[in-house]
Structure 1
Amino acid sequence: MKKDVQISVRTLVEYVYRSGSIDSRFRSQATLLDGTRIHQKIQKTYQEGDQKEVYLRIEIPFEDLSFIIDGRCDGLLFKKGEVIIDEIKSFSQPLHLLNGEGYPVHWAQAKMYAYIYSKGHQLPEINVQLTYVHVESGEKKYIKKTFPFEELEQFVFDCLKGYAPYARLQLQHREKRNASCKELSFPFPTYREGQRKLAGAVYKTISEGKNLFAKAPTGIGKTISTLFPAVKAMVEGHLNRVFYLTAKTITRTTAEDAFARMRTSGLCLKTVTITAKDKMCFKEETICQKEHCEFADGYYDRINAAILDILANEQGMTRAVIETYSRKHKVCPFEFSIDLANAVDAIICDYNYIFDLQVSLKQLFEEQKKSTALLIDESHNLVDRGREMFSAFINKEMFLQLKKDYKGVNKDIYETASKLNSWFISIKKEHANQNEFSIRKLDENLHLHLVQFLDAAEDLLKNGASNHLLEAYFKVNNFLKIADLLDEHYMIYGEKQKTDLIVKLFCMDPSKLLKQMGKGYRSKVFFSATLSPLTYYQDILGGQEEDYFLSIPSPFKKEQVDILIKQVSTRYRDRERTKEPLVKMLQSFIKTRQPGNYLIFFPSHQYLRSVYEEFKLADPETNTLLQEAGMSEEEREAFLAAFTPNQKETLLGFAVLGGIFSEGVDLIGDRLNGVVVVGVGLPQVCFERNLIKDHFNTQGKNGYDYAYVYPGMNKVLQAGGRLIRSEEDHGTIVLADDRFLHSKYQNLLPHEWREYTII
């Protein structure tokens, strides 16, 4: 029995016929929109009886396979008894630079449609036309050929021959994968308390095509408890692909480890980890052009062999594995990882590859969304990341500099930059006595000047220009894209910074856009130890009424952790006054404990350094570490490496609440003996936070809680969660702030933290 291979025309021909080099030289950001517009414009010129967007499908037996190929051809034209397949392609370069015969991959796509149509209608020959249209001028170039049916059939079978090795590899793997998923047992001797419940909820959510918001305590093993049921769902045909989305590199490693553990239990499943381009690039400077990079030069000529090689020999395609095969086949490691994402069963990557309007892989995976689940780790981080992804800004200094740079060099850039600089000056004068101010709406002049700037910049950038102009172009382009999204969830505001003025389109509530970007996927599982209160996160992350909720109590015994509350004010106005009692509390605390490792978290770098210096004066003998701003990866690793078990002397690590050491850090067992959290974590009072507060107040919600309390307490819970990571861990958590005794904050503490001693 032949095995079915379902594939679109475009996917098939692009795999077989792609060639050439990666070239990230400047391209107009309007290209995709222009492509759609041009297709529609050409299709409007079709005569009566002609057809557009014609769905074509065929089933072709080939050796041991049966290819089911489908797609929509741009045009089916009927002229004087002739049938013409029309394939429309937008072209950004001048048409005289177009190869006289057109591009092989374009012919391949058109010929595939021609074969399907002529086979279905028993035509002995058929006409094929490539219609190239210049995106700016609208100039057209038609290249037309007539193909006998026998020639098309030979072409199609050659095409299938080129794709068959990859198809067989994938089919064989799919069979092994499904069999191994079926046989797979939970890869630990037993479930931890609460793990089975979480795994069951994830499986039910995926099988029913719903979404889940799950609060599960730190140390329960959330990664394996979400990945294992997702893998099992593949057996039933509910799923074909999983995205494990994270905010931090360290949690990506945890997901890789979970897959590796399941493989030791017999799982056959291919995963790829996507790492940022700048981190993966083999060159000193990331310039993706064949003249600058041998890994970009001829990339598409070698990529299929590289993909076949790595898929035949590897299952866990981590950064190190991808780099090894990239060097072997001389292909760009970042682009290699993106291409592999289409071929594997699970992708481990940052949130932005799904949710960010600028860099998401939505085009790549549109067809496969219905059989894809999103597992969103540490989902509390997606709130501020969402705000960041959906906001944009421009600033006066950028245009003033461009005005200076292009005076006497380029009239169009100089004039548009001058107009924009003048616009900023007028806004500055209008709000002379305000450092931060709301702007009711973007005026038409600004929009017009920004569009003129993009047009002028595009003309120059096509031939290469300064990085400063390129950066300004992308910033303005992003600003205009976000401007199209403006609604009640946004606020436009201006902020003066010394001589500069920033105008920002600020997304106060990312829920609508997060929901939109996650639309179409079979299931989304939002999970975190600190998804509390659940109703707040459901609201702010774009949840729906029919979503499932799960809150799992801590599996650890109350006896494993001592909770102490220090009645001291850490409010901004009191910090100088209470610094000395805070230092004395720290000294007293470590004297009454066995030598060990302790992390002390502060709400800001400034406060951290102030108390640290006071502590060193009072107690120069105790070993201390200080988290510096902007630490390198090596410095971070050295900081954590100092937390060794069985310490003979006490070590205090002074760190920032909500920073790199307060989330996703595993200091198991005796590597961490206590945590001190100074303050309730409230974000610093600022204009943006107050905009958020006012926005949610107008919606009948508690704006202060949405803007300050919930985000702040999330940081507290994350920091405290560093301590108890397993059934064997013991330690002490000190909450240093009198507000921890207030009911508002008490109600947000985990149940096991509510039995405390006041010190």
Structure 2
Amino acid sequence: MNLFPYRPRPGQREMVEDIAAAVRSKQHIIIESGTGTGKTICALVGCLSASLDSGKKILYLTRTNSQQQQVLKELRRINEIRSVYGLGLQGRQSTCPLARRDPELRSGTPEELSRLCTEKKRRTIDELEGGCRFYEQTIAMAFDEIERYVFSEIPTVEEFVDYCDRRGICPYELAKELASKATVVTAPYAYFFVQFIRDTLLDWMSVPISDLVVIVDEAHNLPDYAREVKTLNLSRKALRHVEKEVNEFGNLEILDGVSILDIVSAMDEALDSAVEEYLLDEDGLLPTNFLEERLLHAFTLTSKMLELATRELMVQGEIIRERKKEAGRLPRSYIFSLGAFLNFWMNIEERYYVKLILGGDNPSFESYCLDPSIAAAPLLDCAASVHMSGTLSPLIEYRDSLGLPSSSPMKSFPSPFPKRNRRIFFVDDVTTKYEDLAQDQEIVEKIEDYIVNICNGVRRNTVVFFPSFNLLQRFLSDGILYRIKRKVHIEERGMSQSDLMETVTRFREGAEQGAVLFAVVGGRVSEGLDFPDRELELAFIVGIPYPKPTAKQRALLHYYEMKFGRGWEYTVRAPAYRRMLQAIGRLIRTDTDIGVAIILDRRAKQFSDRIELELTQDALGDVLRFFEEREKEGRVSSEKTKMRKVHTNTSE
């Protein structure tokens, strides 16, 4: 604990020691610990204590900028005790001065931006047109001055970008140079779980993966993220982009008598057939060879000829990417992407993937990865790893899903906050089970009555979490807003981050009068935002947020049943439990916060083995009594504090 910059709170010493022991033993430790337990500082101190003198480096992976900022701020405190160099990284989209000023570049993939950047740097060095003025300034800058600033101040990425902007230099290029001298690097998940970016990062850090300790923050997100990283999609809109590219660069023949537009036309027809034959609601499971058979039939090809066609698409696409790069444009080719998708689709390991048709306004083919352990496999090559979240239970499911060793330590730390500050009630006379909602309008009316009566009877900032945007919209259509006598704000499907934050800010500012926010479990409000003090004191969970039984979800359940014999537990019950806990967790962020959660679904009782639930027959009354008791305790505590101060002053 020599590096710990604060007075340890209950549980923190044990957490640091557990992490340090796991790192020394080259293990992969899984830790569940709620908000306010100091996971960030404990992980940093534990990993540093075990690795500082062994030449190992630490990669701290985060999902959001705010989490990354917290890592760097904690490193500043550690740096006051012992010199520990820390560095925050973000992608070129966020830090490249050219990309930040150009929407087209900002939309580029890491690989596309890397190719363009390499070309612009070459032109700068060779003093040719089309170079980069920021890179020119960067290589002329005194590097020692920048290094002193970064490793003495440990700035956030935003602060470092501002520092570089004022000097007309490139923060991305400088961060690459600084990474080799940093003991701790904090970066988004993609920097480790996308192979192209991981290989680049290890080179920057001058460290073999065997000497890297990885910390995964908000690790409950990792299984879904790891599946998506290995999933590939081709949409109708992408085919339209291919057509535009053909109009610009020409409709070349890729086989005798078969042009690029012929392939596009056949893909369009295959999409139409898939939608018509296999789409059920949101998606549909496709036969393994559905797309290949459509393309083979359309052009009377052999499988070998079809493979040659996909490779030729990639060759022609690569030529276009080079031409765009030389012209100073984003080196993107939709023709290349079409060929790469078809090549991937035809060669995937079918035991790990499922082939789907997705519906909506922009239907698409998707090769969905069922197994997150594929993307997570490089963790096993690391010196050690630490996986942390407030909602990881059941820990064994997380361990199994990511393919971590069965010997991996698993620890759950209790909340440091007084239990009396939070109550979780549920009612047993309603449910959002699909069959019941469809057959009984009275259930919908009862749920609405609960929400309306408690919102009108309790003037506290309240979030109503619905299991889906569709159900939220159903209640809006039924006119619930006209019955609630408080200001109601709404998280809308697809709203921009800036619009969402504006909505949340208005909700927070309504704490004195008691505002209401309608949101969705599993959305950005339920997982990524803090509401301290009176910003949130009451939360409804409308229904149990089980995953929708789509073709994708059914395939996932089947895969986990075959692999672990626990399909329902791992793919339905565990995600629903985590989503509920994430939403409920918004209530208590400090030891002085108080809050009540009400689950409006009789099925909540199924989770009583994991959540401290209380059945209520008088929801409004129980909520009012809770707040009256807490306020009374607060007044008594305040009076005792005043008396102690008076006594102290008198004694002096």
Fold conserved between structures, TM > 0.5? yes
Structure 1 residues 429 and 335: alpha-carbon distance in aligned structure 2, compared to 1, 3 A threshold? same
2:365 is aligned to 503
Match of 1:470 among 327, 330, 333: 333
Letter of the structure 1 residue corresponding to residue 450 of structure 2: M
Aligned CA distance change for structure 1 residues 358 and 479 (closer, same or farther; 3 Å): farther
> Out of 277, 293, 297, which is 1:433 matched to?
277
Residue matched to 2:418: 557
2:310 matched residue in structure 1 = 450
1:400 CA displacement = 6.1
The answer for the alignment partner of 1:607 in structure 2 is 471
Tell me the residue number matched to 1:218. 35
1:661 Cα deviation after fit: 1.3
Distance 1:471 1:277, change over 3 A: farther
Taking the aligned partners of 2:520 and 2:273, their CA distance within structure 1 comes to 39
Which residue pairs with 1:580 in the alignment? 445
Which of 578, 592, 599 matches 1:714? 578
Asked if the contact 1:437/1:495 (under 8 Å) is kept, the reply is no
Q: How many angstroms apart in 1 are the aligned matches of 2:207 and 2:46?
A: 23
2:355 counterpart of 1:519:
no
Q: 1:487 to 1:548 in 2, by over 3 A?
A: farther
Alignment of 1:116-131 (within 5 A): none
Q: Report the equivalent of 1:311.
A: 147
More helix by share: 2
Q: Is the 8 A contact 1:391 1:504 kept in 2?
A: yes
Task: Report SS of the residue matched to 1:725.
Answer: coil
Task: Name which of 2, 13, 17 aligns with 1:196.
Answer: 13
Are 2:545 and 1:681 equivalent residues in the alignment? yes
Partners in 2 of 1:483 and 1:559 — Cα distance? 57
Q: Is the 8 A contact 2:507 2:516 kept in 1?
A: no
Give CA-to-partner distance per residue, 1:431-467, whole Å, 9 cap, x none.
8632233232585354332111011222233222897
Q: Distance in 1 between matches of 2:259 and 2:320?
A: 14
Amino acid at match of 2:176: I
For residue 727 of structure 1, report the CA deviation from its aligned partner: 2.0
CA deviations 1:610-662 (Å, max 9, x no partner) are 32465654435302211123344433433343455894311111111111111
TM-aligned CA deviation for residue 546 of structure 1: 2.0
Contiguous gaps of at least 5 residues in structure 2: 106-115, 293-302, 620-652
Partner of 1:188: helix, strand, or coil? Answer: coil
Determine the structure 2 residue equivalent to 1:100: none
1:242 paired to 2:104? no
8 Å CA contact 1:302, 1:331 repeated in 2: no
In structure 2, the partner of 1:663 is 527
Relative to the length of structure 2, the TM-score reads 0.78
| Alpha-carbon shift at residue 472 of structure 1 (Å) | 4.1
Q: How far apart, in 2, do the equivalents of 1:234 and 1:613 lie?
A: 57
One-letter code aligned to 1:502:
S
| Cα distance, 1:501–1:633 mapped onto 2, change above 3 Å | closer
* Alpha-carbon offset, residue 538 of structure 1: 0.3
Call closer, same or farther: CA 1:620–1:569 in 2, change over 3 Å. Answer: closer
Q: Partner letter of residue 466 of structure 2?
A: F
Answering whether residue 234 of structure 2 is matched by residue 394 of structure 1, we say yes
Flag the structure with higher strand content. 1
Counterpart amino acid of residue 196 in structure 1? R
Deviation at 1:575, TM superposition (A): 4.3
Matched, 1:266 2:81: yes
1:369 to 209, 216, 238: 209
Aligned-pair CA distance for 1:755 = 4.4
CA offsets 1:48-86 (integer angstroms, 9 cap, x no match): xxxxxxxxxxxxxxxxxxxxxxxxxxxxxxxxxxxxxxx
Q: 1:430 to 1:638 in 2, by over 3 A?
A: closer
Quick check: 472-481 or 216-225, which moved more?
A: 472-481
Distance 1:718 1:434, change over 3 A: same
* Residue of 593, 609, 616 corresponding to 1:757: 616
Q: Do 1:565 and 1:756's aligned partners in 2 also have CA atoms closer than 8 Å?
A: yes
Give the aligned partner of residue 257 of structure 1. Answer: 73
CA displacement, residues 370-428 of structure 1 (integer Å, 9 cap, x when unaligned): 33211101111011111110111234664466357536934237813423542663686
Change (3 A) 1:653 1:572: same
The Cα shift of 1:714 comes to 1.2
Q: In the aligned structure 2, how far is the partner of 1:446 from the partner of 1:497? A: 29
User: Are residue 692 (structure 1) and residue 556 (structure 2) matched?
Assistant: yes
Give CA-to-partner distance per residue, 1:12-47, whole Å, 9 cap, x none. xxxxxxxxxxxxxxxxxxxxxxxxxxxxxxxxxxxx
Matched, 1:344 2:182: yes
Q: Output the CA distance in 1 between the equivalents of 2:278 and 2:30.
A: 42
TM-score, normalised with respect to structure 1: 0.68
Using a 3 Å threshold, how does the CA distance of structure 1 residues 432 and 680 change in structure 2: closer, same or farther?
A: closer
Cα contact 2:28–2:408 (8 A) shared by 1: yes
- Residues 1:396 and 1:269: Cα distance change in structure 2 (over 3 Å): same
Deviations 1:201-251 (A, max 9, x none): 11111111111011112322211121121222244x245321111122222
- Secondary structure at the counterpart of residue 181 of structure 2: coil
Distance 1:371 1:457, change over 3 A: closer
| 1:284-363 map, 5 Å | 284-285=101-102, 286=105, 288=117, 289=120, 294-298=132-136, 301-302=139-140, 305-306=142-143, 308-315=144-151, 316-327=154-165, 329-360=167-198, 361=200, 363=202
CA distance 1:403–1:555, shift in 2 (3 Å):
closer
Query: Matched residues in 2 for 1:652 and 1:478: separation?
Result: 45
Relative to structure 1, is the Cα distance of residues 238 and 723 closer, same or farther in structure 2, using a 3 angstrom cutoff? farther
Shift of 1:362: 5.2
Cα gap change, 1:737/1:545 in structure 2, threshold over 3 Å: closer, same or farther? same
Letter of the structure 2 residue corresponding to residue 569 of structure 1:
T
Matches within 5 A, 1:628-643: 628-642=492-506
SS in 2 for 1:359: helix
CA RMSD of aligned residues (A): 3.1
2 CA distance for matches of 1:279 and 1:631?
Answer: 20
Question: Relative to structure 1, is the Cα distance of residues 446 and 219 closer, same or farther in structure 2, using a 3 angstrom cutoff?
Answer: farther
Matches of 1:432 and 1:635 in 2, distance apart? Answer: 36
User: Residue 673 of structure 1: CA displacement?
Assistant: 1.1
> Quick one: which amino acid aligns to residue 455 of structure 2?
I
Report the CA distance between 1:733 and its aligned residue: 1.0
Change (3 A) 1:396 1:663: closer
Q: Is the 8 A contact 2:316 2:336 kept in 1?
A: no
The question of whether the paired residues in 1 share the 8 Å contact of 2:24 and 2:51 is answered with no
Q: Does 1:735 pair with 2:591?
A: no
Q: Distance in 1 between matches of 2:559 and 2:385?
A: 27
Give CA-to-partner distance per residue, 1:646-694, whole Å, 9 cap, x none.
9431111111111111124222222221221112111222111111112
Percent of matched pairs sharing the same residue: 21
CA distance in 1: counterparts of 2:228 and 2:397, whole angstroms: 19
Structure having the higher Rg: 1
